[in-house]
Amino acid sequence: MAALALDSAELYVAAAYALFAVLVVVYVVIVTTKLTRASNQAEVLSRLVREDDSR
Amino acid sequence: MQGKSLRSLALASAAALVAAFALVFAYAPLDADQGLIQKIFYLHVPLAIVALCGFMAGGIMAVRHLRTGDRRWDVRSYVAIHLSIVFGVAVLVTGSIWAKASWGHWWVWDEPTLVSFLIVFLLYCTYQPLRFAIEDAERQARYASVFAITAGAFVPLNFIAVRMAEAYTHPRVLSATGGQMPGAMRLTFIVALIAMALLFTTLWRLELAGKAAAARLRHMRRQLERPADPASRSVPPVTAVPARSSLR
């Protein structure tokens, strides 16, 4: 198995690592967005529940 | 408390990944045969190992769910399998890039390791449609656990079968004797494997936290929709894992 020319090999290696980084970042952004939105909505709702109980 | 431990875990994962990539590009020697493209293995192989271990961990968690009836184990199993599928996508993509660079083809059908991983991946791709085709939450969890156990047992069997296959063209990174990696390469590989395992654990914990927050939200919505009943007006903690809820 002959080693590729450095330029071509660099491109493949960079593509592999970049795709991995993009995948992880996209996953983290999706999960964090969902978590933040749910936590914020839960805070609002828990306040409504407390207000409703105190009446 | 849980937020703090998740933050610590995330920092440890980030540090381990930085260390691993620094070792890959600044410490590990170039492979005499493959040259620079061998560096893809420090990403591809740990990803594959962690993804397969994640599938098996999902099966073990499913066993605990069926034994205890505790729905938290079902949620943990679901998240482990979901995350392993994401890692599986990364394995297939990075493997294809390496194959194109090394063999000149994006995919080779006569190579047992590639095809067996694809079979495992496609098997687990049916997990979510199967799971969410069942409406009843209890049955959904039970059937999903049975699937996770059966598929989880298939993973090591499949791996052993491939190892026993005679036609090898896929490079061996690890073997019972430690493979043919020199010390610097082996150290780099081990650090990369640890980093990937930490990343998996962090993302697993993060998604579990998301599921818990979503479950808490559903619980409160149900409470608000119900007629006033002060006895049922308890607000579960954000960190609680859903006890009875759909995972959607």
Q: Which residues are CB-neighbours of A53 under 8 A, at least 6 positions away?
A: B230, B233
Q: Do the chains contact at A1 and B97, CB–CB below 8 Å? A: no
Q: Has residue A46 been placed in a domain?
A: yes
pLDDT for position B58: 96
Q: Has residue A1 been placed in a domain?
A: no
Q: Has residue A31 been placed in a domain?
A: yes
pLDDT for position B245: 45
pLDDT for position A44: 84
Chain A residues close to B47, C-beta within 8 Å: 20
Q: Has residue A7 been placed in a domain?
A: no
Q: Has residue A39 been placed in a domain?
A: yes
pLDDT for position B129: 92
**In terms of C-beta density within 10 A (0-12 exposed, 13-18 middle, 19 or more buried), how is residue B108 classed?**
middle
Q: Has residue A8 been placed in a domain?
A: no
Q: Has residue A3 been placed in a domain?
A: no
∠ CA A24-B132-B209, rounded to 5°: 45
Distance CA B207, CA B205 (A): 6
User: Domain count of chain A?
Assistant: 1
Host domain of residue A36: 18-55
Distance CA B203, CA B62 (A): 19
Chain B residues close to A50, C-beta within 8 Å: 235
The owner of tokens 């390469």 is B185
Q: Which residues are CB-neighbours of B46 under 8 A, at least 6 positions away?
A: B189, B192, B193, B195, B196, B197
pLDDT for position B16: 96
pLDDT for position B164: 74
pTM for this structure? 0.83
Q: Has residue A4 been placed in a domain?
A: no
Q: Are B120 and B55 in contact (CB under 8 A)?
A: yes
ipTM at complex level:
0.80
> Of A23, A42, A49, which is closest to B213 when you measure between CB atoms?
A42
Provide the b/e sequence for B15-44 (b: ≥16 CB within 10 Å): ebbebbbebbeeebeebeebbbbbbbbbbb
Closest CA to B83 of B204, B241, B210: B204
- pLDDT tens, chain B, 248 aa long: 567 888 999 999 999 999 999 999 998 888 877 888 889 999 999 999 999 999 999 999 999 999 999 999 999 999 999 999 999 999 999 999 999 988 888 998 888 888 889 999 999 999 999 999 988 888 999 999 999 999 999 898 877 877 776 555 555 655 544 456 788 899 999 999 999 999 999 999 999 998 888 888 888 777 777 765 555 555 555 444 444 444 55
Q: Are B234 and B63 in contact (CB under 8 A)?
A: no
For an interface test with B, give the residue of A4, A8, A20 to mutate (most B CBs within 10 A).
Answer: A20
pLDDT (tens digit, 9 = 90+) per residue, A18-49? 999 999 999 999 999 988 888 888 888 878 77
Q: Do the chains contact at A49 and B44, CB–CB below 8 Å? A: no
Chain B residues close to A19, C-beta within 8 Å: 90, 93-94, 97
Chain A residues close to B224, C-beta within 8 Å: 45, 48-49, 52
pLDDT at A1 over 60: no
Chain B residues close to A9, C-beta within 8 Å: 35-37, 101
A25–chain B nearest CA distance, Å: 11
pLDDT for position B238: 47
Q: Do the chains contact at A4 and B86, CB–CB below 8 Å? A: no
Give the residue, A6 or A25, on which the prediction is more confident. Answer: A25
The fraction of chain A above a pLDDT of 90, given in percent, is 38
For an interface test with A, give the residue of B217, B232, B233, B245 to mutate (most A CBs within 10 A).
Answer: B217
User: With a CB-CB cutoff of 8 Å, which residues 1-55 of chain A face chain B?
Assistant: 1, 3-4, 6, 8-10, 12-13, 15-17, 19-20, 23-24, 27-28, 31-32, 34-35, 38-39, 41-42, 45-46, 48-50, 52-53
Integer CA distances (angstroms), B187 to B24, B42, B174, B182, B192, in order:
10, 11, 13, 9, 9
